[in-house]
Structure 1
Amino acid sequence: MKKTASLMLMLVLSISLVLSACGVDKKNNNGGSQGGSEPEVVSDESGKDFKIGMVTDVGGVNDRSFNQSAWEALQRLSKETSAETKFLESKGEADMEPNLNNFVREGYSLTWGIGFLFTDAILKVANENPDAKLAVIDAVVDAPNVASVTFAEHEGSFLVGVVAGLMSESKKIGFVGGMEIPVIKRFEAGFVAGVKAANPDANVKVVYTGTFDKPDQGKSAAATLYNDGYDIVFHAAGGTGNGVFNEAIERKKNGEKVWVIGVDKDQSLEFGDEVTLTSMMKGVDAAVHKISKDLIDGNWTSGTQELGLKDDAVGLPETSKKNVPEDVLKKVDEFKAKIISGEIVVPGE
């Protein structure tokens, strides 16, 4: 019996040593495990004493767009610095303030609100917690403990508008927006201006679904546009825009020649270049990573940063070359140079 007990004890100790050697990565979580991903060696441990939280808007963390880009940036930061990162999803606007407060109460080093809809919630939480640090994307919050990041979406949207204006065979181009808020209106205004600059005879039809988290409504809006002969649709609708892609994919399978212009990130990587003409990329990931890393490095500052074409914060991805002809891309570069120089001022509303 003593021999058997000794063997069992040795076995338990051996298993414990193996599990310890494997090392589960707890630094990068969303309230659960990342599931199936292999642990990666971190670059350093400069962020080991930092906790950075992120609250999504109603589109959710897997919107394949805006929120996902921000979360991917924090995941990368966690791997690079050992900082602890976590997100909370907002199912509605009523969840935003409680979710922000959740991170503040837990003593997080920095709490992000992703999207214009956080404007009021961030301001309230910041004023009530002056020692907390917060940051927000697509909104300007005037508080000494808030870093605000906005983008010149209208400038990047102008460029994809140029692509659509030059490549539409029907000269009928659609725009599907989510909620009709200032940031989405900037997408619309820039896009329409770009289409008209490249092709004054083109017609642009604008549709708003009123939501960022309903792919079925995006699909329905796209179906109506494609049925009416609109062959290129640009969406700025978050998760709702996934439905635009779903409709285009179905039609492509049936032999129809329709295109989608993606938003916020290179959506050809998600939906394929068979339907993605190009995307209006927005450096949400770069901004979230930079400001969060600045905090770890001791360089964090409050205030507002606006990022545009001159900062390479908006524009087209390299994958555009797959579907956009060289002469069209050359025209895009010409317009880009004129916008940066100030020769062209893109309307923002």
Structure 2
Amino acid sequence: MKKVIALAMSAAVIMSTLVGCSSSKPASTGTNGEQKATKNYNVAMVTDTGGVSDQSFNQSSWEGLQAFSKKTGSKVSYLESKQETDYNTNLDKLVDAENKLIWGIGFAMSDAILNAAKTNKDVSYAIVDNSYGDKTPENVTGVTFRAEEPSFLVGYIAGKTTKTGRVGFIGGIKSPVIDQFQYGYQAGVLYAAKELGKTINVDVQYAESFSDASKGKAIANKMFSAGCDIVFHAAGGTGVGLIDAAKEAGKFAIGVDRDQAYLAPDNILTSALKLVNVAVEKVSEEAMNGSKIGGKTYTYGLKDGAVGIPKENKNVKPEVYDAAIKLQDKIKDGSIVVPFDEKTYIDFTK
């Protein structure tokens, strides 16, 4: 996740563009756990099974709530889910704690959020990575991202960087959301391969988990042994295993959701960024201020400055970075339409 595509956006620009622990009880905080709430508006979130320290979108979401708390003085908290059966229970606990807005982090919580919203119509809910389309309840807000766009960019960088002509992708649990990462990545690799006039193979495997780092490591080791020298993951905490494997094998990993270079400076090539923290902070503030955010879905992409890749990374060659920047501009102006599932990928290959 590194050197690459300029997420050319200042926090201020992003903010204006976005519209609007293992624990049995909520862990609350104000500003760094010290500031007292200045408004009687409590916001909380329930993680998926990856947990709040997944180094990925759950952690990014919590950082967004912490930033919201620091800015507004509101009280924020979270509950971790160890298994899917925890979702409903955790959501109920946060309602009992009198939270005004409750976030569900991840598409896996879609049914639980929908059920909770129907039962508690006076509570506002928001969910990351899911849309209910025209059937979105009036007290529910969906937040989605065009994750295929940064995935295309990191795929292009991988294709331009690989020495073996074989790269990999590790997914968490198969779903339309993870399809965006997989097929966007494969399209970027293909684009680079055509520029280079050669074939680059992409190995794909799913771990069926967002929290099993050991399985992620085992899959990564298998891919590296098979000849892959770069592997991208969209697997939450499972992807931490990939990064460990890359360090041990002396290969490259590509991070996801946040800039994961700090986990392995010498082995993270770049990252597909998804600024969940900014969306969570902004939507929470809109809700607190009384704006109508329910009954619809907000979708953010490169044009909104809400996804991208890190600007600097020593592991990406300057010329590859510059080429990726040009592709980013083409995606923004519509010259390149990045595929997001198998069908659109097949169309893209033609």
What band does the TM-score fall into relative to the shorter chain?
Answer: 0.7 to 0.9
For residue 162 of structure 1, what is the aligned residue in structure 2? 156
For residue 10 of structure 1, what is the aligned residue in structure 2? none
Q: Structure 1 residue 340: deviation in Å?
A: 1.4
Contact 2:32 2:70 in 1 (8 A): no
Q: Structure 1 residue 325: deviation in Å?
A: 1.5
Task: Answer yes or no: is 1:191 the counterpart of 2:198.
Answer: no
| Large movers: runs of 4+ above 4 Å | 37-42
Q: Structure 1 residue 272: deviation in Å?
A: 2.7
For residue 211 of structure 1, what is the aligned residue in structure 2? 209
Letter in 2 for 1:212: F
For residue 146 of structure 2, what is the aligned residue in structure 1? 152
Quick check: 72-81 or 57-66, which moved more? 72-81
The separation in 2 between residues aligned to 1:288 and 1:137, in whole angstroms, is 8
Letter in 1 for 2:148: H
The separation in 2 between residues aligned to 1:149 and 1:164, in whole angstroms, is 28
SS in 1 for 2:127: strand
Q: Structure 1 residue 297: deviation in Å?
A: 2.3
The separation in 1 between residues aligned to 2:28 and 2:74, in whole angstroms, is 16
Tell me: CA distance 1:31–1:99, structure 2 relative to 1, closer, same or farther (3 Å).
Answer: closer
SS in 2 for 1:134: strand
Letter in 1 for 2:232: F
1:1-349 pair list within 5 angstroms: 31-32=26-27, 48-141=39-132, 142-200=136-194, 201-252=199-250, 258-269=251-262, 271-302=263-294, 303-320=296-313, 322-349=314-341
Contact 1:184 1:236 in 2 (8 A): yes
Root mean square deviation of aligned Cα: 1.8
Structure 2: give runs of 5+ residues left out of the alignment.
Answer: 1-24, 342-350
TM superposition score normalised by structure 2? 0.85
Q: Structure 1 residue 130: deviation in Å?
A: 1.2
Quick check: 154-163 or 322-331, which moved more? 322-331
The separation in 1 between residues aligned to 2:316 and 2:267, in whole angstroms, is 12
The separation in 1 between residues aligned to 2:322 and 2:165, in whole angstroms, is 20
Q: Percent of pairs identical after alignment?
A: 43
Letter in 1 for 2:191: A
Q: Structure 1 residue 251: deviation in Å?
A: 2.0
User: How many residues are aligned here?
Assistant: 309
Letter in 1 for 2:149: E
SS in 1 for 2:170: strand
Q: Structure 1 residue 300: deviation in Å?
A: 4.3
Tell me: CA distance 1:144–1:32, structure 2 relative to 1, closer, same or farther (3 Å).
Answer: closer
Quick check: 58-67 or 98-107, which moved more? 98-107
Letter in 2 for 1:234: F
Q: Structure 1 residue 32: deviation in Å?
A: 4.8
The separation in 2 between residues aligned to 1:71 and 1:121, in whole angstroms, is 19
Q: Structure 1 residue 341: deviation in Å?
A: 1.3
The separation in 2 between residues aligned to 1:120 and 1:32, in whole angstroms, is 24
SS in 2 for 1:273: coil
Q: Write out per-residue CA displacement over residues 123-177 of structure 1, whole angstroms, 9 at most, x where no aligned residue.
A: 1111111111000000013111111000001111000001001000111000011
Letter in 1 for 2:123: A
Contact 2:56 2:237 in 1 (8 A): yes
SS in 2 for 1:319: coil
Q: Structure 1 residue 296: deviation in Å?
A: 2.2
The separation in 1 between residues aligned to 2:144 and 2:35, in whole angstroms, is 33
Contact 1:153 1:282 in 2 (8 A): yes
Bigger Rg over Cα: 1
SS in 2 for 1:212: coil
Contact 2:27 2:79 in 1 (8 A): no
Structure 1: give runs of 5+ residues left out of the alignment.
Answer: 1-29, 253-257
Q: Structure 1 residue 299: deviation in Å?
A: 2.2
Letter in 1 for 2:106: G
